[in-house]
Amino acid sequence: MESIDKIKAHYNFTSGDAENLKQLKSVMEKHKGDFPKEFYNHIKHFEGTSKFLTSEEIITRHQDGLKEWFMNLFSGEYNTQYLRDIERIGYAHVKIKLPAHYVNAAMHFVRLYCLKILEKEFCTDMNECKYLAKSVDKIIDINLDVITSSFIEEEIKTFFLSERVESYLIQFANRFAYGLNLILVMGLVIMGIMVMGLFVYDVTHIFTGDIEKGLLGTLGSLLMMWVVIELVDTEVKHLKGGKFAIRVFISVALVAVIRKLLVSTLKAEAVESHLSLILIAAIAVLGIIYWLIAKTEKAE
């Protein structure tokens, strides 16, 4: 499945759209109770739905789920968690082997239902109304895309062990990866605190008379702090659904070598001057790689 950022970009879903949908939340809240009833009025005409909605308990659970899903359309927050929630809905329907056609037809109803509310309660200014309607269209299309993708993925899936074992395995691997990512963020925060300690330690050299060592050391620890900020920033973006920036790894290596060079310049021995040359060559190579990656990312 694509990342949420990519999906949003493909539908040209901007922060303006998110704002628009959030703006509609209070109006839609008024129709929250009515929505599942109208939804059921629509789907009851589909022959065969009773095969899936077999008990009052299932219907009540479904209507509660529908209500929550409907309000989430207007939450204004469309992140990785939101994508996971829609995927889960898609798989819930795949699991009961509901034909994808039913979901498409039901989504068509949802679109018309939302637009009707918009027309009735929001459309004093035609341009504003069109803009809001476009945002509603986009979020419904995104939902339809993700839900129907679950059906397609299911169709092309071939199983090595068994469907149940594999889906548990994938779910477990997904959660495990997410847990590891959270540990990584915590580790980076601890790193940040330690680099702050190093910065204070380097600054003390200035006051104890070793100004050169103090200044170069401070410069090195500031560079490290910048890298930690970049790493935390990248990881947080990654957790929110963005793609991982390899460039940051190169910048970590680059800063580590620059820091080593700064420290080695303090020692004027012959062996160290050879080391300095190697370090300068390493910085040049890493710099070129960094530049090439940054250029490719920009082009993308």
DSSP string, 138-160: HHHHHHHHHHHHHHHHHHH---S
Whether 286 contacts 257, CB under 8 Å: yes
DSSP category for residue 49 = G
DSSP category for residue 161 = S
Whether 188 contacts 235, CB under 8 Å: yes
Whether 68 contacts 92, CB under 8 Å: no
Q: What is the per-residue binding string for ligand HEM in 41-80, x denoting contact by CB under 6 A?
A: --x-----x--xx----x--xx--xx--x-----------
Q: What is the per-residue binding string for ligand HEM in 15-44, x denoting contact by CB under 6 A?
A: ----------------------------x-
What are the backbone dihedrals phi and psi of residue 146, each rounded to the nearest 5 degrees, phi first? -65, -45
Q: What is the per-residue binding string for ligand HEM in 101-130, x denoting contact by CB under 6 A?
A: -xx--xx--x--------------------
Binding residues for ligand HEM, how many (CB under 6 A)? 21
52 vs 249 by CB, closer to ligand HEM: 52
CA dihedral 53→85→5→296, nearest 10 degrees, is -100
Question: At residue 281, what is the residue type?
Answer: A
97 vs 243 by CB, closer to ligand HEM: 97
Question: At residue 247, what is the residue type?
Answer: R
**Minimum distance from CB of 226 to ligand HEM (Å)?**
43
| Residues 125-164, interacting with ligand HEM (CB under 6 A) | none
**Minimum distance from CB of 24 to ligand HEM (Å)?**
17
- Which part of the chain contacts ligand HEM (CB under 6 A), choosing from 19-27, 85-93, 236-244, 256-264? 85-93
Report the distance separating Cα 71 and Cα 257, nearest Å.
51
**Minimum distance from CB of 70 to ligand HEM (Å)?**
8
Using the rule CB under 6 A, is 250 a contact of ligand HEM?
A: no
117 vs 245 by CB, closer to ligand HEM: 117
**Minimum distance from CB of 113 to ligand HEM (Å)?**
10
Report the distance separating Cα 199 and Cα 239, nearest Å.
29
The tokens of 247 are what?
Answer: 């460039």
Cα atoms found within 13 Å of the Cα of residue 186, Cβ hemisphere only:
6
- The residue number with the shortest CB distance to ligand HEM is 65
Q: Which residues bind ligand HEM (CB under 6 A)?
A: 43, 49, 52-53, 58, 61-62, 65-66, 69, 88-89, 92-93, 96, 98, 102-103, 106-107, 110
